[in-house]
Structures are given as C-alpha cells and as structure tokens.
Amino acid sequence: MKTRRHAKILELIKEYDIDTQDELLRFLRESGFDVTQATVSRDIKELRLVKTLSRTGKYKYSTGGDTGSNMSSKFYSLFADSVVSVEAAQNIVVVKSMTGMAQAVCAAMDAAYPQHFVGTLAGEYTFFIV
Amino acid sequence: MKTRRHAKILELIKEYDIDTQDELLRFLRESGFDVTQATVSRDIKELRLVKTLSRTGKYKYSTGGDTGSNMSSKFYSLFADSVVSVEAAQNIVVVKSMTGMAQAVCAAMDAAYPQHFVGTLAGEYTFFIV
DNA sequence: CCTGAATAAGAATTCAAC
DNA sequence: GTTGAATTCTTATTCAGG
C-alpha cells in the first residue's frame, strides 16, 4: 500500500499547490488512503520531498531540485537534436531517435509535449521498445 | 545587515549539516549575528532554502539544486506502482502502465533500468504510443 | 523596511501495536 | 516492516515596535 500511496502523493503535489502535510492528508483521504499525519511525514521523508516556494511566494511541497522549466528546455533541445523521424498512422505515433538517445527523447517528449505524450488519449498506454 | 547574514547562512549550511533553524541560529550567533529564530525563518524563505535529507538520512538545510538521485527515487516508486504488466517476447519488451502514468513509467524505466532501457541494444529504438 | 517576542501552526518522532 | 495517537520539536506568522 505504501508504494501506491507514494505514487498518489507525487501525483497530488504535481497537480495541486499543497503547502501542509494536513492538506496533503486531506487529498489522500479523498483518494481513499486513510492515513495520518505521521505517515505523511514519513512518506515525505522517503520521497525526499521538500517544501519550497511556489511562484506566488507560498510554500508548496515538491520534488527537489529542478524547477521543471529548466529541465524542460534542456530536454527540448535534446529532443530536437536526437529525433530521426516522427510518424503517425491512425492512433499510433512512432518516434525514432538516434541510438542511445531513446531515454532522453522519452523525457523530452514529456517535457515538451506532455499533453500528447500522456495526457489526452484514453485507455492504456503501451511502450514497445524494440 | 540582512545581506551579510544571508551570505553567512549560505556559508554555514554549505559547511555544516544543519538540521534545525535553532542550530543555524547558534552558528549565526557565534558569527556575531544576534538574531532570533523568527528572522532565521524569514531568511530561509528568502533564500529559498529547503530541508532535504543528507546522505546519512538526517534532515539538513540546503540550497535547492538536487541532481537526479532525487528524480530517480521519485520515479522508481512510481514505476513500482503504476506498471500493470511487463512482458517479453523475442526482442520486444512490452510495458503496460495504468492510465496517465505512461510518462512517469518512461522516466522510471530510465531511472531503474537504464541499461535495459537504452544502453544495451543495438540499432534504433522506437517508441510506440498507442 | 527589518526585527523580536510570543504564539499558532506545522512537522518529526516516540512509543506502542499490529 | 508499517502505522496511529500522542507528544515533542520545529517553524511560520502575527502583532507590535524600531
């Protein structure tokens, strides 16, 4: 259950500006995780989350380090440089990258086109790694 | 005076493992900055410091920039929790994730199994996103 | 503005229990 | 190994005052 909760926490702090453990706790409970603040505190420690300042000057839990936009631009240029071709047929998108770049491309797609990469399609997603 | 104090704080947290504002306060006083915890709290906010985990598993104040190990653990637990199935046939590996998790899974695979994900196969890599 | 004193608010840990 | 209840510890803020 713990891993599942951890995943949910990461989801939640990504989606909302959560500035206290109690607030996170409330969201977790809405999601069916019936735990207490003590557990949330431990989860935060294990996930190495930090309380930073959001752009509005409010505190907010987030994953450490990168501000995202930083990452995003970094990978964006990587993406542009390492993709060989992009093709679409029906509901399938095929992205070919240069050797050794697949991992970076994957992250780049997330950074550059999150809505296409994961957000807008229905059903399961499948990765084929050939 | 505030600027000097800020500079000193950055120096101190770089040099020592400081895990509470009170401890930082003590160091500051030794350095001739006679302030209180309230001020330290404000300084930390202005400097955007965060309380992270040091390598020893203790909390520690530090400047934001973490590198990857953070990402890695973040995605690792996500991976563990959002993958529905993993199958292998011939030279094809199929990873199915829960809806909305594909992006995270992708990064998790990089974090957890970089060698399988990108490093060991020859030729081009192809992502199919269905 | 910047700060301290006091307080409220928040978070980590202890102690048991499972 | 994981958790909750209660506690202690820590930190943010309020409310003056400089």
| A7/B78 touch (CB, cutoff 8 Å), yes or no | yes
Q: Which residue has the tokens 């930083």?
A: A70
Higher pLDDT, A49 or A78: A49
Least confident residue range of A22-31, A50-59, B38-47 = A50-59
Write phi, then psi, for B67 (nearest 5 degrees): -130, 85
Q: Is the pLDDT of residue A86 over 50?
A: no
Contacts of residue A62, Cβ cutoff 8 Å, sequence gap at least 6: A13, A49, A50, A52
A55 in contact with chain B, both atoms CB, cutoff 8 A:
no
Question: CA of B79, closest CA in chain A: separation in Å?
Answer: 8
Among residues A82, A74, A5, A66, the alpha carbon closest in space to that of A36 is found at A5
Provide the pLDDT confidence category of residue A64 given band limits of 50, 70 and 90: low
Q: Is the pLDDT of residue A53 over 50?
A: yes
β-bridge mates for residue A85, sequence order: A96
Chain A hits for B107, Cβ within 8 Å: 106-107, 110
* Residue A23 CA distance to nucleotide C9 C1' (Å): 13
Across A81-85, A111-115, B46-50, the highest mean pLDDT is recorded for B46-50
Least confident residue range of A84-93, A99-108, B117-126 = B117-126
Please check whether residue A129 is in contact with residue A102, taking contact to mean a CB–CB distance below 8 angstroms.
Answer: yes
Q: Cα Rg for chain B, rounded, in angstroms?
A: 22
Q: Is the pLDDT of residue A11 over 90?
A: no
| B103/A110 touch (CB, cutoff 8 Å), yes or no | yes
The pLDDT, as a whole number, for residue A122 is: 22
Q: Is the pLDDT of residue B33 over 90?
A: yes
pLDDT (mean) for A56-60: 87
